[in-house]
């Protein structure tokens, strides 16, 4: 499935760009992230726990950063293996542009799931993926703007 | 006679056996528990096609309660893979299917590792922590993709994806088409379905290392088959395996097969020496139960100016999935879909080619009707297309082409079918009258003028029921085709019938008890049925190909006759008369002078406790066993006609069912209530196929609608009233005269909705080739027809 959206972040473009490359930022922003290690250069390892419809999944995944145009754009490419739940893989192209209120972050996500979670059908999967992307970038915005995000419930 | 009608054959007795189930007192596999029972959750393949590189189990083994995580390599040491290539099917090619993936997985949902734990919850928690390392391989999913010249192989041991190729009828039928007044042609596409049983598959297996015996409880149709399968795969003597099918909540053919995951559960018990339970959850059911029906077909039909069929030429391409279902293969549906085309009619020249294709999808197998619904739908739409071309009323078109009986001096059709007496004319007459066909046609014409599109569809069918040894025997498949009854007169005068027939909710056991009770003039409560247990019942088939009453009822009737003859002879000696002068009425022996004072209880007590009181000093056996398999015929053909009245909304593409009628000939009807409900239930599944149900896969082989929210099964609210009537032509193959009825509703249901939809769409010029006929497809067809104008 494909999704795109944008956020206005009250921070300079360079700050926003550097934020994306930090593992602690990923840990804070990936919904359900238990652990994120690694670096922008070598790629990140992540453990993410999520509940998709009736299926609880613990994904072990790798995230790499590609096509880096410093301060302008990059691609986050990830794949998570979810044990009995199946797998999820996807790529997000993030583009930054100057904006009177800071930076406009535009993202285009192409994601795919397989195995048991794929069975749940597009009504559940698409909604879930949209929520994940929204939460990620919303938290990212909040982190950068300095306020601590309210911990969102996994059950909502 | 009045008393017989109240108790024996033909009595509409309520099904006493259903009370326990309706009150929640059923005993299903999941209700069975044993000391030390372990539970299995499977980790299943996430890709449609992949190579397994490694399994990481450390985290899973740390979950409290998890006892073991077992992979395919470990099981391969003690359990052989299914090899499903019947020697009698030339050219049939299917890869061996191991209980758990060893190296290459071929469909999404194939079981890879068994997590064994003290509870199901712990097993599932463990399964979440098993990580599989894979190489994803290219997947081939649609029939077209499987057929493509450069298609990737579904299984890397093969270079292409053709699993089966066969032709019925003549090599060349082109002559029949030359100079025909009309030739009609159409393409068909049938969606992949699955059985959706209320109770999912499930198994409890217990290998007892002390006795070296394997005991299995399984939600299944054919316990005797499974005894042999488990013995073969695990290298055991069949005598050391006992398989019991307790109460079963629906089966529809999908519980006819041996599944890799169930075999894995049995092998895990053998490995650990402990009882294990595995219950398939609903998400797993969708991807790991047998699927059915996926096919594409094209058909040509030639008719003369009067509407007589001159020839049929058809090709059926069937989607087999990743493996042939064990042990009966996946070819049955494809073969019957081709062979049964045109079955109700004299078709002139006949040719039907069938090809079966491997796909990276769940294996396809038996589902109520097995191929016959496809054949019926193709045939009936072709008849409608030809009737429009020849400008003949569709009902009349059918009548002038019906195959009648043995009157042409031959019982075998060109497709190789052996058809006994048919009663299609009588069924059609009754049907047209019941639905008031003429009035419906007038109403249809009047409404069309107002832009209301109603359709009237007919579907005639011939169905192969009570299939005997002639089907699997020559193919080299060791499948019991007989049905047997072991009848015992207990010392208290009650009867016990141990039957090889099994019951998954049909009520067959109640009907057999009714039949037996009728033979002795007692209430059905006086007959205790024992079924579904290889330890307690005689050898036989179980439930497949509509055989419960047709074959199992005949075996019971014969056993009754033997037991009764012995008892009447004994009674004749006591009463000093001829046995022929005696009969049973309400369990009592009635002689030339009326009631004799001797009844079943008295005779039973004499035989069991005081045999010396017999005038001859001899008593008849108190247990008799009869086994029946049709010998003169390979199967017992039944027939009938369905009709549907529906309305299409041309703006929305929705289909509204207004009425449904069926007239069926299943020969002797033992319990009309049960028979009518078999027809209705079957029809509902036919309607489901026509309008709602489809297993949808993504291009790369992910099952995308595997929940009951997205895989739509028909509910009571969508169903019209279904009118059921009978013509009764007892088969000459048995003394009882019953033909099968369990699948008759499904066989005709799909075709009747198809022809009714086609009829409704005539004014639009549209035709929907792809089933199920969803609003989107109906609308697309209407819009395409508008564009073509």
- CATH number of the domain to which A27 belongs: 3.30.530.20
ipTM confidence score: 0.86
Q: Say yes or no: B493 and B366 in one domain.
A: no
Token pair, residue B528, equals 């205790």
Residues of B with CB below 8 A from A129's CB?
none
Q: Tell me: the pLDDT tens digits for B235-251?
A: 999 999 999 999 999 99
Cβ-Cβ contacts under 8 Å between A and B: the total is: 70
Whole-angstrom Cα Rg for chain B: 28
B565 and B641 co-located in one domain:
no
Rounded to whole angstroms, how far apart are CA atoms B755 and B382? 9
Is B594 domain-assigned?
A: yes
Question: Residue A37 domain-assigned?
Answer: yes
**A-chain residue closest to B114, CA distance:** A84
- Residues B737, B676 share a domain: yes
Say which residues have a Cβ less than 8 Å from residue B439's Cβ, sequence separation at least 6.
Answer: none
Given a contact cutoff of 8 angstroms between Cβ atoms, the answer to whether B373 and B334 are in contact is no
Provide the number of structural domains found in chain A.
1
B263 and B122 within one domain: yes
In a domain, B664, yes or no: yes
- In the three-class reduction of DSSP (H, G, I as helix; E, B as strand; rest coil), residue B576 is classed as coil
From the list B749, B691, B720, B739, the residue with the least C-alpha distance to B380 is B749
Q: Is residue B711 within 8 Å of residue B336, measured between CB atoms?
A: no
The domain that holds B532 is classified in CATH as: 3.30.365.10
| Model confidence band, residue A129 (pLDDT cutoffs 50, 70, 90) | confident
- Residues B784, B663 share a domain: yes
Contacts of A119 in chain B (CB under 8 A): 283, 286-287, 702-707
Residue B710 in any domain: the answer is yes
The pLDDT of residue B525 is 92
On whether both B42 and B111 belong to a single domain, the answer is yes
User: C-alpha A138: how far from its chain's center?
Assistant: 10
The nearest CA of chain A is from the CA of B49 a distance in Å of 11
In terms of domains, do B511 and B395 share one? no
Q: Is B582 buried (19+), middle (13-18) or exposed (0-12) by CB count in 10 A?
A: buried
Q: What is the pTM of this model?
A: 0.95
Residue B509, token pair as written in the block: 């056991």
Task: Give Cα separations from B720 to B10, B709, B723 (angstroms).
Answer: 27, 22, 9
State the pLDDT at residue B410: 59
In a domain, A156, yes or no: no
Q: Which of A60, A82, A121 sits opposite B707 (nearest CB)?
A: A121
- SS3 assignment, position B66: strand
Instruction: Decide if pLDDT at A154 tops 50.
Output: no
Q: Give the structural domain span for B490.
A: 2-26+482-628
| Dihedral angle computed from the Cα positions of residues B626, B627, B628 and B629, in that order, rounded to the nearest 10 degrees | -170
Give the orientation angle of helix B424-435 with respect to helix B394-401, to 10 degrees: 160
Evaluate whether B108 touches B48 at the Cβ level (below 8 Å).
Answer: yes
Q: What's the burial of B769, exposed, middle or buried (CB within 10 Å: 0-12/13-18/19+)?
A: middle
pLDDT given for residue A51 in this prediction: 87
On whether any CB of chain B is under 8 Å from the CB of A89, the answer is no
Which of B558, B557, B539, B463 lies closest to B501 in space, CA to CA? B539
Strands B655-665, B583-585: pairing is unpaired
B504, B368 contact by CB (below 8 A): no
- Same domain for B240 and B132, yes or no, is yes
Residue A152 above 80 pLDDT?
no
pLDDT value at position B405? 64
Question: What pLDDT does residue B647 have?
Answer: 98
User: What confidence tens digit (pLDDT) does each residue in B176-216 have?
Assistant: 999 899 999 999 999 999 999 999 999 999 999 999 999 99
Based on the fold, state whether residues B659 and B677 are members of the same structural domain.
yes
- Residue with tokens 């990059």, as numbered in its chain: A74
Q: Lowest-confidence range among A42-46, A79-83, B405-409, B630-634?
A: B405-409
Last residue of a domain, one of B282, B302, B330: B282
- The structure tokens 């564009």 sit at B787
Give yes or no: residues B645 and B729 share one domain: yes
Verify that B310 and B323 share a domain, yes or no.
yes
Partner-chain contact B128 A122, CB within 8 Å = no
Shortest distance between the Cα of A55 and any Cα of chain B, in A, equals: 10
In a domain, A151, yes or no: no
Whether B180 is covered by a domain: the verdict is no
Structural domain total, chain B: 3
**B145 assigned to some structural domain:** no
In a domain, B162, yes or no: no
User: Is residue A85 within 8 angstroms of chain B, CB to CB?
Assistant: yes
Residues of the domain holding A10: 2-145
What is the number of helices (H) and of strands (E) in chain A?
A: 3, 7
**B770-771 and B182-190: which strand pairing?**
parallel
Give the pLDDT means over successive 10-residue stretches in chain B (789 positions): 62 91 96 98 96 95 98 98 93 94 97 98 95 93 96 96 96 96 98 97 98 98 98 98 98 98 98 98 96 98 97 98 97 96 95 98 97 98 98 98 69 82 95 98 97 98 93 91 98 97 96 96 95 98 96 98 97 96 94 93 96 94 96 90 98 97 97 97 97 96 94 92 97 94 97 98 97 98 93
* B277 and B295 part of one domain: no
* CATH code, domain with B225: 3.90.1170.50
Q: Is the pLDDT of residue A53 over 90?
A: no
């Amino acid at each position: 499935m494909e999704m795109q959206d944008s956020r206005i972040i009250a921070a300079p473009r360079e700050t926003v760009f550097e934020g994306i490359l930090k593992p602690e930022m990923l840990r804070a922003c990936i919904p359900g992230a238990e652990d994120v290690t690694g670096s922008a250069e070598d790629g990140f390892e992540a453990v993410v726990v999520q509940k998709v419809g009736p299926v609880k999944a613990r994904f072990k995944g790798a995230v790499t950063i590609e096509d880096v145009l410093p301060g302008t754009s990059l691609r986050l490419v990830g794949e998570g293996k979810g044990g009995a739940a199946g797998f999820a893989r996807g790529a997000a192209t993030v583009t930054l542009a100057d904006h009177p209120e800071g930076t406009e972050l535009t993202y285009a996500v192409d994601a795919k799931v397989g195995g048991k979670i794929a069975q749940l059908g597009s009504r559940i999967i698409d909604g879930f993926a949209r929520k994940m992307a929204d939460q990620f970038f919303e938290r990212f915005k909040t982190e950068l703007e300095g306020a601590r995000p309210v911990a969102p419930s996994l059950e909502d | 006679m009045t008393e017989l009608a109240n108790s024996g054959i033909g009595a509409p007795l309520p099904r006493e056996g259903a009370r326990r189930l309706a009150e929640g007192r059923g005993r299903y596999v999941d209700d069975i528990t044993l000391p030390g029972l372990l539970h299995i959750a499977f980790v299943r393949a996430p890709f449609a096609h992949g190579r397994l590189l490694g399994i990481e189990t450390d985290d899973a083994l740390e979950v409290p309660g998890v006892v073991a995580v077992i992979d395919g390599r470990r099981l391969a040491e003690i359990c052989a893979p299914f090899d499903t290539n019947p020697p009698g099917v030339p050219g049939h090619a299917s890869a061996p299917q191991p209980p758990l993936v060893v190296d290459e997985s071929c469909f999404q949902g194939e079981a890879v590792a068994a997590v064994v734990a003290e509870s199901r919850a712990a097993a599932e928690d463990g399964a979440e922590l098993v990580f599989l390392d894979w190489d994803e391989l290219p997947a081939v999913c649609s029939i077209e993709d499987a057929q493509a010249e450069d298609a990737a192989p579904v299984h890397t041991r093969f270079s292409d994806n053709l699993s089966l190729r066969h032709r019925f009828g003549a090599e060349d039928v082109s002559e029949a088409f030359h100079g025909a007044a009309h030739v009609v042609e159409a393409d068909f596409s049938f969606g992949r379905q699955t059985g959706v049983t209320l109770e999912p598959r499930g198994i409890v297996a217990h290998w007892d290392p002390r006795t070296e015996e394997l005991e299995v409880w399984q939600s299944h149709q054919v316990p005797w088959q499974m005894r042999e399968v488990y013995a073969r795969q695990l290298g055991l003597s069949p005598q050391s395996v006992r398989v019991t099918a307790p109460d079963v909540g629906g089966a529809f053919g999908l519980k006819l097969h041996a599944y890799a995951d169930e075999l894995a559960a049995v092998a895990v018990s053998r490995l650990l020496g402990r009882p294990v339970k595995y219950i398939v959850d609903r998400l797993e059911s969708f991807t790991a139960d047998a699927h059915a029906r996926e096919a594409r077909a094209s058909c040509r039909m030639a008719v003369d100016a009067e509407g007589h069929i001159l020839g049929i030429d058809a090709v059926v391409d069937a989607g087999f999935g990743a493996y042939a279902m064990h042990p009966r293969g996946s070819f049955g549906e494809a073969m019957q879909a081709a062979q049964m085309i045109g079955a109700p009619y004299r078709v002139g020249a006949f040719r039907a080619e069938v090809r079966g294709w491997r796909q990276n999808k769940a294996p396809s197998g038996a589902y109520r009707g097995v191929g016959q619904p496809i054949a019926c739908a193709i045939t009936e739409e072709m008849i409608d297309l030809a009737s429009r071309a020849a400008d003949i009323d569709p009902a009349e078109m059918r009548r002038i082409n019906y195959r009648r009986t043995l009157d042409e001096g031959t019982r075998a059709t060109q497709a190789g079918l052996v058809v006994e007496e048919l009663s299609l004319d009588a069924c059609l007459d009754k049907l047209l009258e019941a639905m008031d066909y003429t009035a419906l046609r007038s109403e249809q014409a009047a409404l069309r003028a107002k832009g209301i599109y109603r359709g009237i569809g007919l579907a005639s069918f011939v169905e192969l029921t009570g299939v005997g040894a002639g089907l699997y025997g020559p193919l080299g498949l060791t499948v019991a085709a007989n049905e047997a009854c072991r009848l015992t007169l207990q010392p208290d005068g009650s009867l016990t019938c141990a039957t090889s027939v099994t019951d998954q909710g049909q009520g067959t056991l109640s009907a057999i008890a009714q039949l037996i009770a009728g033979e002795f003039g007692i209430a059905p409560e006086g007959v205790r049925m024992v079924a579904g247990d290889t330890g307690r019942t005689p050898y036989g088939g179980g439930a497949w190909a509509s055989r419960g009453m047709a074959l199992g009822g005949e075996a019971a009737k014969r056993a009754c006759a033997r037991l009764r003859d012995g008892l009447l002879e004994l009674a004749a000696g006591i009463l000093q008369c001829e046995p022929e002068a005696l009969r049973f009425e309400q369990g009592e022996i009635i002689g030339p002078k009326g009631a004799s004072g001797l009844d079943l209880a008295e005779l039973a007590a004499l035989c069991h406790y005081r045999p010396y009181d017999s005038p001859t000093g001899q008593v008849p056996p108190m247990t008799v066993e009869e086994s029946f398999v049709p010998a003169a015929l390979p199967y017992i053909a039944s027939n009938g006609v369905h009709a549907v009245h529906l309305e299409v909304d041309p703006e929305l593409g929705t289909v509204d069912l207004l009425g449904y009628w069926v007239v069926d000939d299943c020969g002797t009807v033992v319990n009309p209530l049960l028979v009518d409900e078999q027809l209705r239930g079957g029809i509902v599944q036919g309607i489901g196929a026509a309008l709602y149900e489809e297993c949808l896969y993504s291009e790369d082989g992910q099952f995308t609608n595997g929940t009951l929210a997205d895989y739509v099964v028909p509910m009571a609210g969508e169903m019209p009233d279904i009118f059921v009537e009978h013509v009764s032509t007892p088969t000459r193959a048995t003394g009882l005269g019953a033909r099968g009825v369990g699948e008759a509703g499904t066989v005709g249901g799909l075709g009747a909705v198809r022809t009714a939809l086609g009829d409704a769409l005539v004014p639009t010029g549209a035709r929907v080739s792809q089933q199920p006929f969803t609003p989107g497809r109906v609308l697309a067809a209407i819009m395409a027809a508008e564009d073509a104008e």
